[in-house]
Each structure stands twice: as C-alpha cells, then as structure tokens.
Chain A
C-alpha cells in the first residue's frame, strides 16, 4: 500500500502539488490523469523519490520512504517511461539485466529469468536479446521496457506515459497485454497518462488531478457515472460513457412512465445490469421490451425501443430538455 499524506511540492514558489492525500491499495492499477501541469508526473516521481516532497510524507506499507535508502527503494520498483527509457548503447539483454547484474544475481538464474520476461511480454528471446533498442519498433521497445521493470520482480511498478508515443493500434495491443499481465501478477501499478480512454480501459482506480489537487479518485465506473464536478465531466467528456457501454445500466435507459402491461412471459433484467445484457435479451428473445425488476421483483421501469432511441439520441443531440439527461450530467 502506498499512502500519500499531506504531500505538497513547490518548485521556486510555484506550488505544483497542494497538500494531497490518497492511498493506493496493494494489487491495484491506479492511473494518474490530468492535463500537463496538473502534477500527475510529479506525484509519480515522488514514489521512487526522483522528486522529494516539500512537505508531507509518503509511506509504503507503513514505512516512510523518505527514510529509506533511495537506491534500494528504486531497485525494488519497476520504472517504465517512453522509449527513451532504454539505454541505446546496450543490447536488449543488457538493458533488462542491468539491475540484476549490479545486484550480482546468479548468472544462470538471470539468463533464465530474462527469457521468461521476454516470453511474458511476447517477444522471442533468441531473436531480440542481442539486438539494440534502435533495431526494434516502438511497440517492441516498450515491451522490453515493461520486461525490464519486472526484472527484479518488484511489488510496485511505476509507468510514466509508457504508451503515449505509440500508434493507436499498437497502444491498444499493449494495453490489453498490460491488463493480462496485471490479472496474472497483481502488481501495484501506478500509471501516468493523459489519455482518458486508456485510463478507463486499464485502471482499477483513476485519480484525476488538476492544478496540483486531486479532483476525484475513484473507480472508472463511478467517475463515468458520477463525475465529482463540472471539471471532471468536462475532462472525462460528456458522452464518454457511450464508449464504455458495459457501464450503462438498464436503469439508465428505462422508461419510468407508468406501465400498465403485464410483465409475464418477458425476460427481465435487474436495474444494475448493463445495457449490453438488455441488447442481448432483445436479440435472443426478439422481445420488443424488457422489464426492469428490482431484486424483490418490483417493476421499476421498462426498456423499450423508444426509451433506447431516446437514450442513444442523447449521445448525438444535446440534452436541452433534460428529460433523459441523467446519463449526461
């Protein structure tokens, strides 16, 4: 667990972090997101003490990192940045093994581990290990960067916009792999990005920052559904939720106008079920409407063709009347 306690940072009278406190749970992938100058990268670099706080403290598992040996602290943390993070004059093998070698780990064990790491990030070890970073594509370099971060098997991995310089297709591919890796290894990952789509895809929690303050720290779903304020909803984008339909619930799109028909013979859904389930039912059972029943079986509303059209149209037509506007707040 990483805990920020009243952390502030000033660079020459400019306060870039203003008394922030939050916790990152073990095994979570947390994205720090915000515009440039929001303090997200500063926050990340404080965790491996590339930047020290002006005041406040950071604890990892209860220990104040300000009192830990900084080299030891960093070697027990993975650190991935854009392509520049690989050392251009070293082969891929040298890049991955640099810290294990400095720590004088056993050579045979190290070789085996390196091959495993290459495997893990989906690169053929025999083909790539003796090449230089410039001989690899951007995506391949970034995979090597991830492999290097795992080389010392750290509990915490810091990633500073690792995928931002890649083309969209490669980026999505790497995001998927990161999700896979994370489901296998359950590292504590702190991930800085300025890309909301990326944050929503990969994060357990998202920490939205603005001008040195944390504006909202929550799960992707809560942020999409309940933006803390106008800034967040602006930042997230009003229609963003439509890019993540799994977060749209039946209760969001149902019509609550008094319904008089019987629900017998219809397959129903719970209010919290996603719109994808609703669509599945419609497709499978050729129902014209889907009743939304509470756990207790009480009818709460009805998803009908017209309610769906009304909900979808709010994606493209501004919600001037506000009648179906609850998705768009």
Chain B
C-alpha cells in the first residue's frame, strides 16, 4: 500500500525519469545500430578484420559497466554523452555478431546465383544479403535493446538521469518504494522494448521464411498491417519524446549555473539550498546535476566544465584530490586546498560552511558494551575478531582506511566493501561489526550507533566547502555572499536533522531544503 501511495505521489517524477530512460536507450541502441551493422557487414568482406572486431567487442562487453562509465568521465564528462557512449559500446557486440552471422550464413548458392545473373556487389548486398540477414540482425538488436534498458539504469551513476536515479537514491536511503518506482517501470520498459523489437523482427522476416505457416495469406497480411500500426505508433512516441526534450532542453539549459552534487542526501540538501537561495537572491539561473557519484566523478565533472559548482569537503579535497597525506590542522588544510586548487586546476575554493562531516567508525551498542569500545584505539582490545564493512571510497583513500590503518594498526578479521546504506543493514544483520560513517549521518541516529572517538586525531577536518570554476565565478560573482550566508547558517546538528528528514522520513530533499530556508528566514 505504501508503494502505491509512493507511486501516486511521485507519478510525474516517475514518468519524467521513464521518458529520460527511453530516450537514453533509443539513442544508444540507435547509434549502436548505425555503427554495428556497417561494421558487421565490413567484417564479412574483410575476413582479416572479423576476429579483431569481434574480439574487441567481446572485451568491451566484459568490462564492468561501472568501470567503463568511470573511465569515460575524464574524456566525455558526465551526463548523457558518456552514458550513451558506454551503453552503445555494450550494445555493439550482439549487433555486430548477428550481422556477421546473418550474412555469412546465407546459402552460398543464393549468392552465387545472384552473381551469376549479373548483380553487382552492392546490389547483392542491398537486395539479397541485407534482406535475408535482417531477421537475424534484428534478433541482435532486440538483445541489445533489452540489455540497454538495464544498462541505462547504471547510467544514473554519472548523472544521466533515467530510472536508475530512483533505484540509486532508493538504495541509498533504504527506501524500498523508491527502488521499486525505478525498478518496476524499468522492467516494464524492457518488456515493451522486447515486444516492439520482436514486432520489427517479424515484420522484416519475409512471409516465406516465417516458421508459423498455419495462417492463410490474407490473415497473415492482416496481422502484418496490425503489427505495422503498433510499430508506427511506438516509433512516433519515441520521436515525439525527442522533440519534446529538445524543446525543453533549449529553454532550460541556456546560460545557467550548473550545480553538481555527490550521491548522498546531505549533498542533495545543500545543493538544493544553494540553488534555491541563488535563484531567490540573484538573477542567476541554476540547473542541477545531482547524485553524480563520488568525489572523483564530481571533481572530474567540475574540471571538465560539466558542472560549475559543487560542495566538497576540505579533508576530501586535501587527501583525495591533492593526494596529500592527512592533516588534522583545519587552517592548514583549508589554506592548502585554496591555493593548490587555484594553482593546479583554476578552481576557486569559497569560504567553508560551518559543519564538519568527517569520517568516523561506528559499532552497534551491544558490540561497544561487550568489547568496552569508546575510541578507535579500543578496537585493538579485541584484535582479529571484528569485521569491517566500509564504502569503497573509504577503503581506497589515504585519508580513509589506509591512513587509519597505518596510524592505529587495526586488526580486522575481514574487510568488506559495501557501498551506501547497505552497510548499515549488513551491520544490523551482524554480517559486519564495524562500519565507517559520516558525522552528520542520520542513520547513526536511526540505528542508535555508537561513534568511536578518533582519539589520535587521524581524520582530517571535513568542512563543507563550495568549489567553483574560475570562469563561473567571474561570470556570477554575486553568488559568493549568497553561499556564505547559507554556509554560516548551517551546523552539524542541523545537518543531522535535515538528513534524518530525507533519509528516514522520506521527505523530498528539495522540499526539506526549501522548508529550512523558509523557517530560518532566508527566503522572503
């Protein structure tokens, strides 16, 4: 029931994401056809190329999609372009392979007959080979299209939108209704795509080569007419979608400040606050590209110009972007990143906001009690017994686990990489005993976790700080005081509360942001 309620309440959002999803799928598969079919034909003629081409597309297929998307960011930025490119690369293999198989499997007698009666190579291709191979080619397109619907879901990871957005934010906030709001339409979409592609496959199969032959000629022709009508409607809908989006994009994206954000609630809330306040206080237009993934994604996007501004944390910029080893000196960290980011990347660091979202390690109250754990050093009282569940980013950054490890010499029985809020569930299910957490994380409150004190002051300060491209700053200098005003009004307690509203009360981040600004008199 709760799910139905969620669907009803967010219908327009779900539809919007579904439309985006359809667009991304159509675009990727369309490109894959444009590239894959000619390639498939080419390797039929140039036999030497067939092995390398199919080999490369096999390899592409085997690369984990997350890796391919991540790899694409430095070259293609974030958003629709890299997503479409990645999904297209995945869609190539079935199309190339089926084109090749479809053409090479044509009875050689048929081709020789065509040559013998005087068709040119091109005429043989156009009139004999392609029509005869088309059902097989379409079979490949069908596989690609259905797979692409699934892959586009992952594309939300780099801010391409689509139904994956709902799935990811649902997973992050443990909101099953939201997960289903992304997953169910995605499934239906896959079924619809399969059905439409199946229709095309049937339509391009000559009547004489279809397996079912029970129907009389007239009945078969009637069925064909119906199929053609359904297909035409489907294609028209997709075309209308593209047109609609083209018009909307035009009115939307012109001359706007693009605010990015990482994929957790706090980022959503603060980015929304910044967007609302900037649009309220100045004449600057803002567009948002939120839920972009981790630091690497956001910073690459900022450097590449896909976004103009996002909220980073001082310690993250220091340890992760500048690759400096941890320092717990707040001033030093801030001064360093300000001058270094400016010098190295031409990115301006604005004044820090007044909340510090640093890393912590947390355990369940029972664990804390039985092991008498209060600080991180206390973990060494029971070496080799506890299991750590931490985000992949935490496990990989110098100011995360590797640095922590070298300072505290911790001894875990097992270390498991689990992203997002899934690690809290793992903790509750006793699959792990210790998880990393952020000090403003609402889930600490929800699960009543015990925060282990960083008694050796290892973790650097993680004050929220807006990073902005130099060119954007020059273009919109009026936003600086707005962001300062916003930053000064926030605090750790406020952030835990706001995060709690989004994560636990399932409130919309934008609504939470707006309500906070209104309640604190920042919006008039």
- 11 further contact pairs, Cβ within 8 A, besides A86-B113, A132-B208: A48-B116, A71-B118, A74-B116, A75-B117, A85-B110, A87-B128, A89-B132, A99-B118, A102-B119, A132-B206, A148-B117
Contacts of B114 in A (CB 8 A): 87
> Given A84-B113, A87-B128, A89-B132, is A71 in contact with B120 using a C-beta cutoff of 8 Å?
yes
With A89-B132, A98-B127, A134-B208 as given contacts, are A81 and B118 in contact (CB-CB < 8 Å)?
Answer: no
Q: A176 near B: Cβ within 8 Å?
A: no
Tell me whether A74 and B115 are in contact (CB under 8 A): yes
- Within the complex, the shortest CB–CB distance from A257 to chain B, in Å, comes to 58
Residues of chain A in range 65-87 having any CB-CB distance to chain B below 8 Å: 71-75, 77-79, 81-82, 84-87
The reply to whether the CB of B425 lies closer than 8 angstroms to some CB of chain A is: no
Cβ-defined contact, B207 with A87, below 8 A = no
- With known contacts A84-B109, A87-B110, A98–B117 Cβ distance under 8 A: yes
Return the 7 tightest CB-CB contacts between A and B, nearest first: A132-B208, A84-B109, A74-B118, A75-B118, A89-B206, A79-B116, A85-B113
Shortest A292–chain B CB gap in Å is: 50
Interface residues on B, range: 20 to 34
| Bound Cα distance from A293 to B113, whole angstroms | 54
Measured CB to CB, the nearest residue on chain B to A145 is B113
- Is A135 on the interface with B (CB-CB < 8 A)? yes
Q: Which residues of A contact B112 (CB under 8 A)?
A: 50, 81
B131 within 8 A of A: yes
CB-based contact B113/A81 at 8 Å: yes
Cβ B117 vs Cβ A88 within 8 A: no
Mostly, the B contact residues are helix
Which bucket holds chain A's interface residue count? Answer: 20 to 34
Q: Counting CB contacts under 8 A, is B107 at the interface?
A: yes
Q: Is the CB of B116 within 8 A of A81?
A: yes
Chain A residue with the shortest CB-CB distance to B127: A98
Residues in B whose Cβ lies below 8 Å from that of A132: 206-208
Q: Is B123 an interface residue (CB 8 A)?
A: yes
Task: Write the residues of chain A forming the contact surface with B, with a CB cutoff of 8 angstroms.
Answer: 45, 48, 50, 71-75, 77-79, 81-82, 84-90, 98-99, 102, 132-135, 148, 158
Contact flags B126-159 to A (C-beta < 8 A → 1, else 0): 0110011000000000000000000000000000
Q: B117 near A82 (CB under 8 angstroms)?
A: no
The CA-CA distance from A325 to B107 in the complex, in Å, is 49
Residue of A nearest to B121 (CB): A71
In this complex, what residue of B is CB-closest to A85? B113
Closest Cβ neighbor of B128 among chain A residues: A87
**A158 to B208, Cβ gap below 8 A?**
no
- State A10–B455 Cα separation when bound (angstroms): 87
Residues of B within 8 A of A98 (CB): 117, 119, 127
Any chain A CB within 8 A of the CB of B209?
yes
Q: Which residues of B contact A72 (CB under 8 A)?
A: 118
Least Cβ distance of B244 to chain A in Å?
Answer: 38
Residues in A whose Cβ lies below 8 Å from that of B131 = 89
Q: List 13 A-B contacts (CB under 8 A).
A: A75-B117, A79-B116, A79-B117, A82-B109, A87-B113, A87-B114, A88-B110, A88-B208, A89-B206, A89-B208, A132-B206, A133-B208, A134-B208
For B117, what are the chain A residues with a Cβ–Cβ distance below 8 Å? 74-75, 78-79, 98-99, 148
User: Contact at B110–A158, with CB atoms within 8 Å?
Assistant: no
Minimum CB–CB distance from A154 to chain B (whole Å) comes to 10
Q: A residues within 8 A CB of B109?
A: 81-82, 84-85
